[in-house]
Amino acid sequence: MRELVVLAISIHLALPNDVAFMTSDNADELLKKHQLVFVSFGADWCPYSQALRPIFNEAATKFKQDNPLADVLWVYVDCVMEAEVCTRFFISKYPTMKVFVYGDMMKNEYRSSRTVDSLVAFVAGHYAGSVKEFHKHEDLSKRMDKSRRNVVAYVKRGGEEYKNIYNLALLLRDYCDIWVPAVGTLLSDTETRLYYVPPDNERTTDFVGDIKNYTYLKQWLSDKCIPLVREVTFENVEGLTEEGLPFLIYFRDPAKKDDEKVFTDAVVRELYDQRMSINPLLADGMKFVHPLRHLGKTTKDLPVLAIDSFVHMYLFPDISQLSQPGVLKQFVEDLHSGALHKRFHQEAEIKRVELEKFKKEHNIEADLEDRREEQNPVEPVKTAPPESVFKELKPSEKRYSLLQKTEL
């Protein structure tokens, strides 16, 4: 016990004044007290955490020198001493760096270069704010990226409503563009309005609650901004694998929006109650050619739907059935029940029996003299589903110390 106390004291002494030390006792106070908190979760035994520590400390000092009035806190958590804190925030590797906005954890973590300038630029960019400004409604219509989710907030600056909008724009910056009138724009008391604009000019939805109610507003904006079906890219795939849910991947040609809509409609219709057990994703089939090849498909076969369980990949048998009620839901349920794996082995056994029957009917012997198998080639029977491709895209052991999570 004495050794632990000495170690804790030494860690506190090693941290500069510009970096706070988080414990289970002060976690809520530190996170909720500041507009933005940048946290590094690490362990002394991890070589990558050891290498990051002086860089993180120097970056914190530099940021404070450059932004002396910023309501930003840099924090370190020792996950050996404070295992409860790291479990609370689902830390599965060291080091992990996350951003909190008044206590709410942003979904995406920091994964870029571990240098002083990069860390400072990242935090400064987030603290600068994420709201977008417009002067006139006509100006807004021209500037809005209609392929993204957008939210328009007619609120006066300086009040509780604007503060909530500002903070949620930061929290949801990866999913939504949130627009507010520019400084100097005059608004009457009756002009307060908040509405959501879906991608591709679909019908807008007005917020009818109290904008001062941060919790309710956050839930409403999260439901609108964070799609049930997300796009997987080479940039975000590492983070998606860490969520631990099997991938339901729809490989498609991005130019064919109608194909994409068939999948998203099916997911919304049939898998809403399954969102904690499966990760529905869109993938650019022109870029993710390796997984397609692994499934025995090419870009000519698009669209292709498959599940990657991080152990095996399972191909959706008939893409033309995707819009049929119940078919997609059954496919996902069969994964969790083990039916997909069992069915594959049953089909493999049937193919093996058919192969043996073919050999017997054609009097083919497996010897060196008989060449009829070469003249009448028979596709070899696969005895197991294709191995997972996306498990290879999980966080690299060359950058992180990975914890073994048996429940995954």
Residue 391 per-residue DSSP state: G
Q: What integer pLDDT is reported at residue 370 of this predicted model?
A: 46
140: tokens are 């807004």
As a whole number of angstroms, the distance between CA 209 and CA 162 comes to 15
3-class secondary-structure state, position 64:
helix
Domains of the chain in start order, with CATH, are 2-127 (3.40.30.10), 132-225 (3.40.30.10), 229-408 (3.40.30.10)
As a whole number of angstroms, the distance between CA 62 and CA 60 comes to 6
Question: Which helix (H) or strand (E) covers residue 120, if one does?
Answer: helix 116-127
Angle at 138 between CA 137 and CA 144, to 5 degrees: 85
As a whole number of angstroms, the distance between CA 167 and CA 129 comes to 8
CA dihedral 270, 275, 276, 278 (to 10 degrees): 80
Q: What integer pLDDT is reported at residue 186 of this predicted model?
A: 65
Q: What integer pLDDT is reported at residue 183 of this predicted model?
A: 82
Q: What integer pLDDT is reported at residue 288 of this predicted model?
A: 96
Give the predicted TM-score (pTM) of the model: 0.76
Residue type, 245: L
Residues in the chain with pLDDT values less than 50:
1-14, 349, 367-373, 378, 381, 383, 406-408
Q: Do residues 306 and 316 lie in contact, with contact meaning Cβ atoms separated by under 8 Å?
A: yes
Q: Do residues 196 and 224 lie in contact, with contact meaning Cβ atoms separated by under 8 Å?
A: yes
